[in-house]
Amino acid sequence: MKKIVTASRLKSGCKWVSYVSFVIGVSIFVNDAFIRDVT
């Protein structure tokens, strides 16, 4: 039981980490494009 809980937690953690890194990458890309447009 404990092993299953840990595995599911690890899976959701990986999903959360990939989602956060995706959002950060998109925001950095948008900021870069915006700064390039403005200056």
pLDDT in tens, 1-39: 678 888 899 999 999 999 999 999 999 999 998 888 876
- At residue 16, the pLDDT reads 95
- Distance, CA of 9 to CA of 11 (rounded, Å): 5
- At residue 1, the pLDDT reads 63
Total domains, the chain: 1
Amino acid identity of 34? F
The 10 Å Cβ neighbour count of residue 9 is 10
Token look-up 């990986």 returns: 14
- Distance, CA of 19 to CA of 10 (rounded, Å): 14
- Distance, CA of 39 to CA of 26 (rounded, Å): 20
| pTM of the full structure | 0.59
Range of the domain at 10: 1-39
Handedness of CA 10, 12, 15, 16 (dihedral sign): negative
